[in-house]
Chains A and B, each alone.
Chain A
Amino acid sequence: MRTLDTICIMCPLGCPLRVTEKDGKVCVEGNTCARGAKYGAEEFTYPKRTVTTLVKEKSGGVCSVKTSSSVPKDRIKDVLFEASKLCVTDAKIGDVILQNVLGLGVDFVVTGTSRD
């Protein structure tokens, strides 16, 4: 049986959560509100994160990028690797520099450059 022990991040209370699966049903324990139950279940079944990282600029600098929405947590490494292969010129805030990263349905969007 898979078990996930984590802390709820929905509010400063930080309830310790234990999430398990019983007969195909996700069971959250330790939460003190409905938001915690939802968070625990999501973290257990399909945890997602927005990835932010750097991309090389041809001029020698770096620009910062983010994924346009969150990606599955277990794909963060792959997404970072894709960003490490890129090299851009004259990127501006808001530019999409790679579409549909690894088929995950998210784009790399420029969030800042050293010229801004």
Chain B
Amino acid sequence: MRYDVIVIGGGPAGMAAALAADKAGAKTLILERDTRLGGILNQCIHQGFGLHYFKEEMTGPEYAHRFKQLVEKSSVEVMLESMVLSIGDDLTLTALSPSHGLMKLEAGAIVLAMGCRERTAGAIMLPGTRPAGIYTAGMAQKLSNVMGYLVGKEVVILGSGDIGLIMARRMTSEGAHVKLVLELMPFSSGLKRNIVQCLDDYDIPIKYSHTITKVEGSPRLTGLRYAPVDEFRRPILEKEEYISCDTLLLSVGLIPENDLLSGTSVLLDRVTGGAVVDENRMTTVQGVFSCGNVLHVHDLVDNVSNEAEIAGRAAAEFALCAQKEKEYFGVKATNGIRYALPQRISGGEGKITLFFRVDAVYKNRKLVVLSGDKVIKSRKFAVLAPGEMGSVEIDRALVDGELTVRLDDENA
């Protein structure tokens, strides 16, 4: 079977990319491994989605529903329960589904939209035993919001990522007692709004610069030892304390789910965990595009939708029109900037939005973009935090050398 554009993943990124490709005239297919479209939005029953994209505030399932309706009305084909097993540099895929069996597919372009997965107890080398009662926050969210189970009654949360904070409120609403949130860093990795409305509203305490030193209990979790950490994030064991609980939720980071790329020549960015892409979100393999959380972890789904449209449109163009070889300028992140994306840019017309994250909390700084030694953009920020993705627009015509994105003192 051959399609112009094959999109892997039917979450917010996959749906937006497929719709954009369809609109550009490409014969488009979405391969989704779940039994329905929508991805992680289906379990995010809280408010806060769509303010930028739809100009109204909605819940996750509502945001997903809007896109599902658009997909239904479009000519995009959807295969559910379809797991992609491998992709190749030659734009072929193998996939498996109960209704179609083993499929060999050929594409004019591939869009990667597989999203991300959560870091687990193993990934953070959580010390102690491995009893029942330890869940990643997103797993608990699915068990609660989709399947209707209460996963525990006395809850501690490690990490202050947004899903963890949201789950603190959710578990409280369902009658659980959320006793404590522990955060390794001296600041939250979640949005301010979630600290106020998910923790403060329910008098849930958060301890910054603290971590778990031991998990106790068998077969079920009975309690945790935890301690403050020093400047090198090592626990200060003399100050260790104990808290009883039957449930631990982990909200300790997300990893783009790029396992499928292991057999390809797609170059990965070690900082983002996603592919290295150009302004069209094309990877280092011609015709393979990437967008959404599989490219880099976003805070807002609205940004995912916008990014996926860029990738979908460009994928359609790649599949339908002859492409010229492009010359690229690299984008380097330094001096307080953890990463900037896209990681390479070709010259041309118009504006490009550069997205970036900082490596710590900064106040009163100037973000500077240089082309070679020449400053092509500078913008002041009153505050920048790692938990909130920033963006800055640059004029493509000014790009004539390697780009550098960095933070300077406001008056520099």
Tell me if A20 counts as interface (CB < 8 A to partner B): no
State whether B383 touches A116 (Cβ < 8 A): no
Knowing A12-B385, A54-B145, A93-B62 are in contact, say whether A64-B45 is a contact too (CB < 8 A).
yes
> What residues on B are CB-neighbors of A112 within 8 Å?
42, 45, 59-62, 64-65
A-side interface size class: 20 to 34
Q: Does B379 contact A (CB under 8 A)?
A: no
Q: Bits for B52-76, please: 1 = Cβ < 8 Å to A, else 0.
A: 0000011111101100100000000
Closest Cβ neighbor of B382 among chain A residues: A13
The answer to whether A9 and B196 have CB atoms under 8 Å apart is yes
Q: Would B196 and A62 count as touching, CB distance under 8 A? A: no
Across the two chains, which residue of chain B brings its CB closest to A80? B173
Identify the stretch in A21-29, A45-53, A100-108 within 8 Å (CB) of chain B at 4 or more residues.
A45-53
Q: For the complex formed, measure the closest distance between the CB of B399 and the CB atoms of chain A, giving whole angstroms.
A: 28
CB-contact partner of B383 in A14, A49, A54, A64, under 8 A: A14
**Which chain A residue shows the least CB distance to B57?**
A50
Residue of B nearest to A67 (CB): B47
Q: Is the CB of B45 within 8 A of A116?
A: no
Determine whether the beta carbon of A111 is less than 8 Å from that of B59.
yes
User: Cβ of B61 and Cβ of A62 under 8 Å apart?
Assistant: no
Q: Establish whether residues B45 and A111, one from each chain, have CB atoms under 8 Å apart when the complex forms.
A: yes
Q: Are A93 and B193 in contact (CB under 8 A)?
A: no
Cα-based distance from A56 to B174 in the complex (angstroms): 12
Q: Restricting to A1-31, which residues have a CB under 8 Å from any CB of B?
A: 6-9, 12-14
Given contacts A7-B192, A7-B196, contact A111 B61 (CB under 8 A): yes
- Chain B residues close to A by CB (< 8 Å): 36, 38, 42, 45-47, 57-62, 64-65, 68, 144-148, 173-174, 192-193, 195-197, 200-201, 382-385, 388
Nearest 9 pairs of A and B residues by beta carbon: A112-B61, A64-B45, A62-B148, A111-B59, A9-B193, A14-B192, A13-B383, A12-B388, A9-B192
- Where the two chains meet, the residues of A that have a C-beta atom closer than 8 Å to any C-beta of B are 6-9, 12-14, 49-50, 52-54, 56, 60-62, 64, 66, 73, 76, 80, 93, 111-112, 114, 116
